[in-house]
Structure formats: structure tokens, C-alpha cells
Structure 1
Amino acid sequence: MSPETNPDDSRSGDVRAAAREKARQLRTSHQRKERRRRLLIGGGITVGVIAVLAIVAVVLVSAIRPAVPGPKNMASDGVVVGSGLKVKTTTALAPDAQPVANTPDPKASTVDIRIYADYLCKLCGDFQRTNLDQLEPLVKDGAVTVEMHPVAIYTSHSAGTKYSLRAANAAACVANYSPNAFWKFNASLFEKQPAEGGPGLTDETLKQRAAASGAGKTSEIDSCIDDGRFKSWVTTASDRALSGPIPNSDVSKMTNALLVLVNGKPYTGSLTNADDFKAFVLQAQGDQYTSTATPTPTPTTTPTK
């Protein structure tokens, strides 16, 4: 007679089997999670390596990018506008070459005005909007020369668009490819000047203003603005103005985004009163005339015999 089966033993076996199956499922689930974790870590490392390699590639490309010559007609870091609003022509400086300062003739009666200005700077806009209209006929007639120095000092003040740098680059593009449109283009950037802290004008708007200023719709200027051809030159020229010295003056360096020199003397008067600046220019003209006037011969006494 076979031994009788104990029901408790059967139930106990079922419980052990269920426990083993549960343990197996947990191990399988854990192994899957571990594989996913390893794959994610490996993928993250791969993405990180790719990102680092991309950054290194950008740095290397920037480092080996050939240096670009400066713009034509800006050998002094500025554009000299004279009689008839014509620009003084100069050749493009070789990359890393030092600027050649424009030295006014001390015997000439022409007043030399140099303006260093950032296209985003409100004070720069105030001065130019106030005074360009009265300067224009004087420049046309040859009584005054104006040397414009576009600088990019407020580059970080335009909501990340680097407008100061882009606008100064656009000015250099116009000076290089259509120099006699420079006077009007420069004025147009101040007539409807964007606010400090805002994004500034788009590159497309800069191209439109260049065309409307007499440069025409040219592929050279458009591509020059689009690819930021003279941005590195603008940065270097701005650094030179900020570190000084300022040529043909007693000014050691620029200390803000606007510097106006009349015959080498800094103008510190009102930026919104045209009469103040006109008086300063006339004073400089008078001083220049006095210093260059031919002395009147002193009569000599004829000795008596």
C-alpha cells in the first residue's frame, strides 16, 4: 500500500515554485534594466564625445581660418570724407598690419573732425543726428573733413545679436565696395537708430539701407554683410581705439562709445545742441587761421645819414 500524500506538502511545493518563478522574473527585469542603463550611459558618452569633438573642430577651423585684410579706404581705421562728400581712397591693409593715421596738413585751412562712434550708442546717435546736417555742406565745400571711425563697443548690449559688430562690419563693407555711399549710409544708421539693449537691425535691413544710400543692390556688399567679412578687423580696430593712443591728439584712449575730435581737441559740449558744436568748430577754425597766418612784416627804420 502506497503512503498517503500529505496535502500540506503539495501546497508547500507550489509556494516554493511560485517564489522561484517570481525570483526569476525579478532577475530578468533587473538584467534588462541594467542593459538599458549601460546602453544609455554608453550613448551619453558617445554624444558627449561627439559634442566635444564638434567644439574642437570649430576652434580649429577658427584658428586656421586665413586672416582677412582690412577694408579698402579705411587704412587709418576710419573713412575720411572730404570735398563733395568723396572718400579718400586707400588700399586695403594686409592682415595684422598697423593702421596708417591720416595726418592733416597743418598749413591747410580745412578743419579736421574725427568721430569715433558705436552704431548702438544712444549718445553717439544724439550727436550725429544733431550735427550731420550742418556738417554736410561744410564737407561738400571742402571747409571741413570728417573722418568716421565705426567701433563696436556695445556688442554685448543687443540681446545676443552682436548688432554693434554687425553694423560696423556693414559700414566697412560699404567703405570697401561703394565708398562714396558711406556718408549717407552712416547717417541712415543713426536716423532710425535701434534702442540700446534691443536686437538692433537685421542683416537684411542693413543691406537695404546700404542700397538706399546709393550703394545700390550689389552682391559684393550683400555677401560681405552676410558673412561678416570684416568683423575681425572691426574688433581689432575697436581694441586699438580703447587701448590708445589716439593719433594726432592728446587723448590717450577712448573711455566710452563716443569720441569727437576737432583739430585733435576733444569736444565735451552738448550732444543735442548744434550751436554748441558749431561754435567749437569755428573756434578751432579761428585758432588754425591764427596759427597759420603769415606774420605782418615789422617796418624798419631807415637810418639817417
Structure 2
Amino acid sequence: MGGAERTARKRRQQQQSAGARAVSQARQGGGGDTKRIVAVVAAVVVVAAVVIGGVLWTNASKNATEGQTIPAVNASAADDYPERRDGVVVVSGKDSAPTTIDVYADFLCPVCAQFQQAYGAQIEEKIASGELRVRTHMVPMLVDRSDPPGYSLDAANAALLAADEGKFTPFHDSLFAHQPEEGKRGYSKDQLIQLGRDLGITSQAFADGVRNGKYDDELTAEMQRVANDPSLQQDFGEGQKGFGTPTVVANGSIVSFSDSNWLNKLLNNAKS
């Protein structure tokens, strides 16, 4: 039973007890004031209905992804550049590209989804034009932040398997375009497999790899390495320092993407 359900049940018990006391007091004090008793009981019933409705809404919201088909996103620009898996990193673009960036992200991270929405299309266009090469690190930082836990790792593993099939970018873009809410239910392995099928991945190796967590150990080890890498530590203010997603690195330094023109500046610097 989740915390919300326990809280709601306790609240119902307290309300029922209060209602019973109110009915008893009404009988003792009013010589059988029937109207007052009916009013008290009605109020208790209404409050209970509101509480039950809240629990049902909370459960429905928490499990919003259950039974859904993840809509497949067409990433047409990805057809114009090479893409390969290098360990737990996916390399997109030509090795001859003058600028390379490393992007660290988590499929459950809401800011990563915002980053993808703001810059994803632009990045893919620059890769396709040969100006940019991207090394994508899907790190399972929020593995405990879904209910049940594990979606962050399952999604990262499935994305690497999609890269083996030449479908990383559309798989990646689809998961960010329809991201589950942090703290709630993610997508199941079967849903991730179905997304692969909808993107044209038909191999049994993909489905088996998703189900048995083929790259889970490597991804977990990479997450530990990244979290302890001093070059990836950022100052988040108020004495808080550490690794966070999304992180973009170019030429060994973390890039601030608070400037919406950050990518063009990087590409122009490479030309000068």
C-alpha cells in the first residue's frame, strides 16, 4: 500500500470515528433530534466520498502510463548520419565533425526532457550537416525515483539496445517526448519493447536484451564513475555541489546552456 493510500485510510477512520461521536452526542443532547443526526451523517458521507475520490484520482495519476502505447516519434534527420554504440555511450555523427559534445541525461529527468524539447531538433540538424558529433551518455541517476523503481535503468538499457539496431535517436526522442512523471509509474519493459517494434526493431535480441537487462551492470558502473568524476561536478548554490542531469561537456569543460545560443557559439568557435 502506498503512502497516499495509508494516509487516506487513516483519515477515513478518524472521520468515521468523529461521525459516530457526533451522532451519539446528538442523540443524548437533543431528545432524538432526527434532523441533526441526518445532517451529521450526511456530512460524514460526503467527506468520506471526497477522500475516496482523492485516493482513486491519486492512483490513476500515479499509474497514468499503465497500458499505454508509447507514441513513436519520427527523427528524420537521424537517417542522414551514422550512429553507433561505444560501450554505454552512443556516438552520433561523423568522426570528422569539427565539434564534439558529450551529453549526460536520464530518461526520467524532467529538465532533460526540457533540454531535448528546446535543443533536440537543432542538435540533430547540426549532426546531419556534419558540423557536430554527439556522444550521448544515458545515465540511470533517477533509478529510485519511479514507482516501482527501475524505469530509469530499464529505459537506458533499452536505448542502448535500440542503438545496436540503428534506432537510437528515434527511440531516445520518443521517450523524452512522452516522458513519465518523476515519482510515478514509468513504462514497463513490454512497453519499451513495443516502442522498439513500432520503430521497426523486430529482432528477438532486442526484446530479450530489454527483458534481461543486458547492459544494466555496465550502466550502473558508469553511473558510479560519472558521479565521482570531479570534472563533471557542478555548483548548484547554497553549498550544494555534485553531478546533475542534463550536463553538456565540450572540450573538457561543462557548457552552460542557459544561453539559448550556446550551440551556435560552440560551432562558430570551432570555425575560427
For 2:140 and 2:97, locate their aligned partners in 1 and report how far apart those are by CA, in whole Å: 32
Letter in 2 for 1:191: A
For 2:142 and 2:205, locate their aligned partners in 1 and report how far apart those are by CA, in whole Å: 26
1:263–1:284 CA contact under 8 A, matched in 2? no
Write out per-residue CA displacement over residues 153-193 of structure 1, whole angstroms, 9 at most, x where no aligned residue: 111110123100111111122223x1x21111111110100
Question: Does the C-alpha gap of structure 1 residues 251 and 161 become closer, same or farther in structure 2, counting only changes over 3 Å?
Answer: closer
Higher relative contact order (CA 8 A, sep 6+): 2
Letter in 2 for 1:126: Q
SS of residue paired to 2:112: helix
Shift of 1:110: 2.0
Letter in 1 for 2:178: K
Map of 1:241 onto structure 2 = 226
Map of 1:126 onto structure 2 = 114
SS of residue paired to 2:108: coil
Shift of 1:285: 2.2
Q: Percent identity?
A: 27
1:78 to 68, 81, 89: 89
Letter in 1 for 2:90: V
Write out per-residue CA displacement over residues 67-100 of structure 1, whole angstroms, 9 at most, x where no aligned residue: xxxxx8223x3111004xxxxxxxxxxxxxxxxx
Larger Rg: 1
TM-score (norm 1): 0.55
Report how many aligned residue pairs link the two structures.
182
**Stretches of structure 2 lacking an aligned partner (at least 5 in a row):** 1-83, 235-241
For 2:176 and 2:135, locate their aligned partners in 1 and report how far apart those are by CA, in whole Å: 16
Map of 1:221 onto structure 2 = 206
SS of residue paired to 1:145: strand
TM-score (norm 2): 0.62
Letter in 1 for 2:92: V
2:169 to 176, 183, 189: 183
**Higher strand proportion, which one?**
2
Residues 256-267 of structure 1: pairs in structure 2 closer than 5 A:
256-267=244-255
Write out per-residue CA displacement over residues 283-302 of structure 1, whole angstroms, 9 at most, x where no aligned residue: 22232223xxxxxxxxxxxx
Question: Does the C-alpha gap of structure 1 residues 162 and 181 become closer, same or farther in structure 2, counting only changes over 3 Å?
Answer: same
Map of 1:193 onto structure 2 = 179
**Stretches of structure 1 lacking an aligned partner (at least 5 in a row):** 1-71, 84-103, 271-275, 291-305
Map of 1:286 onto structure 2 = 268
2:97–2:133 CA contact under 8 A, matched in 1? no
For 2:86 and 2:199, locate their aligned partners in 1 and report how far apart those are by CA, in whole Å: 19
- Residue 210 (structure 1) aligned with residue 196 (structure 2): yes
**TM-align CA RMSD:** 2.1
- Residue 110 (structure 1) aligned with residue 98 (structure 2): yes
For 2:208 and 2:97, locate their aligned partners in 1 and report how far apart those are by CA, in whole Å: 40
Shift of 1:255: 1.2
Structure 1 segments of 4+ aligned residues over 6 angstroms from their partners: none
